[in-house]
């Protein structure tokens, strides 16, 4: 099956915007109108590989707001531009096994259509986040524009859906080498190693110690040792609990958590047995964006990594997110940047029909 989804058919035609990215985007899809009725047909793929940590040099942070605003918010495409399906993928991120880690929808487009259509697709896919990306003209600060939507809203940063997008660009050949994404959080860089390990270069979250807000311990159902604000890009309240068992045993009142941060709560503790292959554990609850518990949260680890690197005296650590699906995130703090490493597996690839 070709990228258009039709056996034996030629690949999709290139638009004027995509031609400027010749050689970087060979697997683009065309966005349907918001009013179109959609159907999804899928085939399941399971590719299992081993995990190995890979680091990339820390890059200087650039503000991509100008790129994002001027180049990624293209005018809505007209109905005459549609008429065929486009590829839609579901990728399990921060794992090397299918049905674990955090699933994300990924769609490669040639432009961003109306926000309402993007939101409706994310609601239809109904995973924690769906990533939408399209190529940018060569010679700029970034290679692809990238946006993330939960089933309820657009978010400013998402690690696992960025990793999933980098995985799709690499495995489909749509982009070669390190990829620079223009996002609401600036330019984010991803590099994929030969073994498939993806390393993300994200801004380190600025942690600020705060008093434990009244009602947080009751909403979580566990005593809280310390609390931290995680800054504007992450937007969570990070709380430290007594031990790993306390984190694993949490059964929070999700409705009661909604008043304590912009996005949600990150609960963490030191690993009970570092010989088990991880240094700290966490769980993430984001009811404000429609996610009661996130499976594996890359953005949260930009706050977890500096906290535990300072506590444990090491820059490179491994975090286990102890959700029911579970996943490992390799972290390395490099000052204002934090590297996040992990694998990904494409489990569903199909066609969105209009």
Give the span between the Cα atoms of 71 and 185, in whole angstroms. Answer: 15
Q: With contact defined as beta carbons under 8 Å apart, do 316 and 61 qualify?
A: no
Q: With contact defined as beta carbons under 8 Å apart, do 138 and 131 qualify?
A: no
Give the span between the Cα atoms of 117 and 122, in whole angstroms. Answer: 9
Name residues whose C-beta falls within 8 Å of residue 274's C-beta, 6 or more positions apart in sequence.
none
- Looking at 3, 29, 129, 349, which residue is catalytic? 129
DSSP string, 90-123: EEEES-SSTTSSEEEEEEEBSS---HHHHHHHHH
Q: Phi and psi (nearest 5°) for 138?
A: -65, 155
Output the six-digit token pair for 304: 């977890």
190 sits in the region (left: phi over 0; alpha: psi -120 to 50; else beta) called: beta
The question of whether 272 is a catalytic residue gets the answer: no
Query: Pairing state of beta strands 102-108 and 129-135?
Result: parallel
For 1-17, letters b (16+ CB in 10 Å) and e give eebbbeeeeeebeebeb
Output the six-digit token pair for 247: 């984190």
Query: Pairing state of beta strands 39-44 and 86-93?
Result: unpaired
DSSP structural state of residue 14? P
Among 125, 142, 124, smallest CA distance to 133 is for 142
Torsion of CA 152, 197, 312, 159, to 10 degrees: -10
270 bridge partner residues:
280
Q: Give the residue numbers annotated as catalytic, written as ranges.
A: 129
């Amino acid at each position: 099956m070709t990228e258009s989804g039709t056996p034996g058919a030629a690949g999709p035609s290139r638009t004027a915007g995509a031609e400027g990215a010749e050689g970087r985007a060979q697997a683009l899809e065309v966005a349907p109108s918001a009013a179109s009725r959609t159907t999804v047909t899928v085939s399941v793929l399971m590719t299992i590989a081993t995990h190995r940590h890979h680091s990339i040099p820390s890059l200087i942070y650039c503000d991509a707001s100008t790129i994002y605003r001027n180049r990624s918010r293209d005018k809505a495409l007209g109905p005459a531009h549609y008429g065929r399906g486009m590829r839609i993928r579901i990728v399990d991120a921060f794992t090397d096994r299918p049905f674990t880690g955090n699933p994300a929808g990924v769609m490669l487009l040639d432009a961003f259509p109306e926000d309402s259509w993007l939101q409706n697709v994310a609601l239809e896919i109904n995973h924690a986040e769906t990533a939408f990306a399209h190529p940018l003209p060569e010679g700029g600060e970034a290679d692809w524009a990238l946006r993330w939507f939960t089933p309820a809203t657009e978010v400013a940063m998402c690690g696992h859906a960025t990793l999933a997008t980098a995985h799709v660009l690499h495995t489909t050949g749509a982009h070669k080498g390190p990829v620079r994404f223009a996002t609401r959080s600036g330019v984010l860089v991803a590099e994929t190693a030969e073994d498939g390990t993806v390393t993300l270069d994200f801004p380190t979250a600025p942690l600020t110690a705060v008093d434990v807000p009244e009602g947080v311990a009751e909403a979580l159902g566990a005593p809280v040792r310390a609390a931290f604000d995680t800054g504007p890009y992450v937007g969570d309240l990070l709380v430290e609990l007594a031990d790993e068992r306390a984190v694993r045993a949490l059964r929070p009142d999700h409705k009661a958590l909604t008043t304590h941060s912009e996005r949600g709560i990150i609960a963490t503790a030191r690993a009970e047995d570092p010989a088990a292959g991880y240094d700290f554990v966490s769980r993430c609850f984001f009811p404000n964006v429609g996610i009661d518990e996130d499976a594996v949260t890359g953005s949260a680890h930009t706050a977890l990594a500096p906290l535990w690197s300072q506590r444990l005296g090491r820059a490179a650590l491994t975090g286990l997110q102890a959700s029911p699906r579970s996943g490992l995130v390799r972290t390395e703090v490099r000052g204002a940047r934090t590297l996040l490493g992990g694998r990904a597996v494409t489990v569903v690839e199909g066609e969105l029909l209009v």
